Structure formats: structure tokens, C-alpha cells
Chain A
Amino acid sequence: MTDSQNHTQRKKEIIITGFGGQGIILAGIILGKAAAIGEHMESTLVQSYGPESRGGSCNAQVVISDEIIHYPYVSHPDILVCMSQSGYDKQIKQIKENGTLIIDQDLVHPARGLKCDFFSIPATGMAEKLGRTMIANIIMLGFLTAVTEIISMDAAQKAVTESVPKGTEKLNTKAFKKGHDYGLATLKGRQKKAAGQAGAIS
């Protein structure tokens, strides 16, 4: 995120939610680290702690900003990432107006007629195809990076390789790229659709 246009965004609040064991907290750590270290911004992460982070519904709350973050808790996210139905059910009402909802469509069935911006990816299915369900979180992170541009691809990818267990860097990098490519394809599809609609109107 080096171009000046992106620098007008300035404060983004993100909640990533899912089951304990899916790597929700790790995804939060990578996102926060990419922003703090890679992008030289301010970022905070507060996370579920205790039994819920080991099986129950859990979430990671990340704030990314140009300025010092005074209040690290997130109650109304700009970006809500859901990797479980229960997480979605719990958080969907909290999302900000004009917020962005991102779901793993293999695990979450959203309500119809949502007003927020909406993206979906079959992250778990894609992870299974790569041979490890566990990397769905990294696929999701790649997707999130592509569709929201809150952090740059370079910063995110570097944070991924630094944060995942030793020996799994290659697989996770592959997972990240898969998610990122899927995100870019999704954006392209949208542009085409928008261009098509504009053409139809004129």
C-alpha cells in the first residue's frame, strides 16, 4: 500500500471469526504484523482467550491505523471475516454500514439481501484440494488482502512466512497465493459485470 490514494483510508477495524483450531488467531496475528512491521502502521490485536480459542467460537479483533490506537477492542467492524456459521450469526449485526463481509462459502450461509459489500471464497474446499484443511485461514488471508487492500501483498506474504510453523512456509505461501488469485479474479469479474451493466444503461 504505497500509493497515495490508499493512504486516505486511515483506520480500519477488522473482526475475523470462526472455530478454535481453524487458525483464526494466527490470521489475526499475520494481519496485525503485516500492518505494523511491513507497512509501518499502527496495529493492535486482541483475541479470544481460554477454552473458546481451543474449539468453541473464537475471534480476532484487529485495528489498523495511521495513528496511535487508543481503543483496541472492535465492536463494529469495517471488515468482517467469517469462517463459521456461529461466528457469522453472532457478528453480522455488528458490521458497520458500508462495511465489507467476507465469508468462507463452504462454512457460512449468509442471509439474503445484505446491505454490506460482500465477498465469498470456498476457502476450506480449496484447502482440502491443497491437501491440508488447516491452511484455509491462509487462503482466506490471501483473499482478504486482494479484495480489501488494507495491507499490501508483499507485507502480508512476508508476515505469513514469518508466522507459520517452520517447514510449512512453502505450503502456506502457495495457499496465500491461491487465495490472493481468487480475490483478484473476483474483482475482475465484478469490474466486467459493472462495465457490462454500464454498457446496457447507455
Chain B
Amino acid sequence: MKPAVLTGEYFMTGDVACAEGALAAGCRFFGGYPITPATEIAERMAIRIPHVDGCFIQMEDEIGAMASVLGASWGGVKSMTATSGPGFSLMMENIGLGICTETPCVVVNVQRGGPSTGLPTHGAQGDMMQARWGSHGHYEIIAIAPSSPQEIFYLTITAFNLSEKYRLPVLIMTDEIIGHMSEKVIIPEAKLIKTVSRPKPKGRKDRFKPFAPGPNGVAPMPAAGEGYNLHITGLTHDEKGYPVMDVETQTEMMSRITEKIQRNLDDIIRTDSYLLEDAEIAVVSYGISARTSMAAVIEARKMGIKAGLLRLVTIWPFPEDQIRKLADRVKGFVTVEINLGQIHREVERCVGGKVPIFLVGHPGGTIIHPDRVVKMLKEAF
């Protein structure tokens, strides 16, 4: 039996590092369905989760997988699933159920080329907008994008902490390249890892309201079977959790599930910058493409082009302020991503026409070469 936190230095893939991050964060339930290139996360969890008295279940499909994750969370354990494009599509309805029922959990999407079955063994970043709006209705979501196996280890812990704190599904939007790439991963001592668990209710069990928000806009959450009155539904519901089909209740519920995110942007949003202080051109990127972009920025600086990198760690909620502030002082933007312009349009929206903005995109299947970014930096400005 091995411990939850495998303190040590490893050469491991992003997929394996993700699974180890989940265990370190306290994840004790994995419900999934194998799909390239996310299978190794399920595989690692199947091997490792019995070591920590957790439960692994391979469901009949991704619809069932997502449902099992929500159920496990209401059973009181931190839970997750991992998938790729086609499975992510199938999970969308139940991700919406997780948002509506304010259920903490983590969903990993190891992105591959799409649409449809697409390129199963090759990477892409084409599901970024699906992550934002893939389930029906209006809602807020948290999505984060790691750039290395080491970072996916840490960000998986962050994803669990955010999901527990704000009671919602948190999406880890990684890609095949990081998922299958091996690199050095340092797992720290268990005592150095900060984990957050959902706030537990206090007071009379019979008067408990599972959707009455606490001070930060989030309601405490008991587990099913602890004696609190619980009614959990995807229908529009009041603070008691009972369905109420009127405009007032809809408005109240929608405010609750959107404002708990909107009011805490400073706590949720993380970006990383490189040589941005004196930059004239801001390169905006995330995930594996941010690594490419950093190589391009270094190369451009050697040529005398004042480029800098804004790496988006949090994708949703979108770091609007960070982009707006940059737009007031740089001469232009370049977005780099393995799709044909999804986050690019978000950046464009925030830049609001103040300065020119260009896309270095790719339809999917490989990494964007730094030379393409350098060429854009040289020619566009």
C-alpha cells in the first residue's frame, strides 16, 4: 500500500501526474470511461485509488461516468473523471446538472483533434469554448489549463480546492501533448500540500437549507445520509432544494450560481507573465501552446522585438481585466492556440479594438512551432 502523496522526484507523463495530483488533493472516487488520450489517468487511478481506500468504477459510458461522479460527491467524497472530446460532449448534460445542483467535482479533458472522433492520438485545444458553454443554459464555470506535467500535478490540486470552495464542477483543459509527454515531476511532502474541503453545515438538521448561501455566496454542503434534509434536483429550485417553477426563484438561483464566481474573480483567476513589463507586443496563450510561445518570445527579444507573454492559467472565468489593462499599454496582441481562434475571440473582445490583434492558430494534430509565432511577431507589427 502506497500513501496518497507519493513524495519524490519522478519522470512521468502529464496523465499520470494528473492522477497523482488528484490523490494528493484528496480525491477518493474516480468514475470514468476509457478514451484516448485520457485513458492513462483512469488506468493510474484504477491502480492507485485502492491504496487510499478510494473507489474506481468504469461506467458504461461518459454519461454514466459523469453521473457517478456527481453521486459520489453528494456521498461526501472528492470525485473526478477524465475524458477527451467525444466523452466531454457526452458529459455536458450532467456537467450542467453539477452546476445547477452546486456539486463539487473535477472533470479533466485531455484534448485531441476534433470535431467528432477526429484525431484520437493527436493533440489540440479545440474544446475551449465547449468548456465555457457546452451545457445548456447560462452559467459560470471554472476551467484551468496546465502547461507541463509538473503543473498539471499542482493544478489538479487547485482544481479540487476551487471546486470544493465554490461548489461546482471545475474543468482541467489539458491536451494530448502534455498528457502523453514525460517530464520531471516533483511531488512535495504531504504536509506542504494545501487542500480545501467543502464547508460543512452546523445547526439543526431539520431546518437545514442546502442552497442557502454562506458569506462568500456558497452554501455549506452535507453528505447524503448525514441526517440533513436534502432534495437535489436539476429543476429550478429554492434554497431548500425544492423545485419552484417561477421567475423569482429562477432569478434567485441564477444569481447564486453566477455571482459566487463573479464576486470572487480575484481569488479564482491566475495568470503568469514573462517579459511583459516593458513589452510592446503581448502574446497571449495557454497550455502547451504557451510553451511554444515562450520560446518565440525569447527568440523575438534576441531580434530586438519587445514581445512578452501572458500565460492564461485560468481560462474561465476569462481574465478580462488582465487583457484590458494590457490593451491600454501595448501596441498589439498575438494569440497562440491549437484551434482556429476560440480564446482569440475572447482576447479580441477585451481588447475592444484599441490595438491590432492577430491569431497564430492551428486546426489540430500537432504543436505550433515557435517559428510561426516569431514570423507573426516580425511581420504583423
Contact = CB atoms under 8 A, between A and B. Distances in A.
Interface of A: 29, 32-33, 36-37, 42-47, 49-50, 68-73
Interface stretch (B177-185, B193-201, B318-326): B177-185
A68 B183 CA distance: 11
B276 interface: no
Nearest to B288: A72
A50 B121 contact: yes
Interface residues of B, number: 22
B310 to A, nearest CB: 16
Contacts of A71: 291-292, 295, 367, 369-370
A115 to B, nearest CB: 25
Interface string B214-248: 00000000000000000000000000000000000
B294 interface: yes
Contacts of B120: 50
Contacts of B177: 46, 72
B36 to A, nearest CB: 7
3 A-B pairs with least C-beta separation: A70-B295, A33-B11, A36-B184
A37 B36 contact: no
Given A46-B177, A72-B177, A32 B369 contact: no
B54 to A, nearest CB: 25
A14 to B, nearest CB: 13
Nearest to B299: A70
A57 to B, nearest CB: 15
Contacts of A32: 11, 182-183
B10 interface: yes
A36 B366 CA distance: 24
B177, B180, B182 pick with most chain A CB within 10 angstroms: B182
Nearest to B367: A73
Nearest to B184: A36
Contacts of A33: 11, 182
A70 B292 contact: yes
Contacts of B294: 68, 70
Contacts of A50: 36, 120-121
A144 to B, nearest CB: 17
A36 B121 CA distance: 26
A46 B120 CA distance: 16
Contacts of A69: 183, 291
Nearest to B8: A37
Nearest to B294: A70
Given A44-B181, A70-B292, A29 B367 contact: no
Given A70-B370, A71-B367, A45 B295 contact: no
A37 B180 contact: no
A36 to B, nearest CB: 4
B364 interface: no
B267 interface: no
B181 A46 contact: yes
Nearest to B9: A37
Contact of B11 (A29, A47, A68, A70): A29
Given A46-B181, A71-B367, A73-B366, A36 B11 contact: yes
Interface string B274-312: 000000000000000001101100100000000000000
A43 B149 CA distance: 12
Contact of A45 (B121, B181, B367, B369): B181
A37 B10 CA distance: 7
Contacts of B181: 44-46, 72
A71 B298 CA distance: 13
Contacts of B36: 49-50
A105 to B, nearest CB: 29
Contacts of B332: none
Contacts of A37: 9-11, 184
B341 interface: no
Nearest to A46: B181
B292 A43 contact: no
17 contacts: A32-B183, A36-B184, A37-B184, A42-B184, A43-B183, A44-B183, A45-B11, A46-B180, A46-B181, A47-B180, A47-B182, A49-B121, A50-B121, A71-B291, A71-B370, A72-B177, A72-B291
Interface string B179-215: 0111110000000000000000000000000000000
Contacts of A44: 181-183
Given A36-B11, A50-B121, A71-B292, 13 more contacts: A29-B182, A32-B183, A33-B182, A37-B10, A43-B183, A45-B11, A45-B183, A47-B182, A49-B180, A70-B291, A70-B292, A70-B370, A72-B183
A33 B149 CA distance: 14
B174 to A, nearest CB: 14
B37 interface: yes
Contacts of A42: 183-184
Nearest to B37: A49
Nearest to A41: B184
A33, A37, A70, A72 pick with most chain B CB within 10 angstroms: A70
Nearest to B293: A70
B168 to A, nearest CB: 33
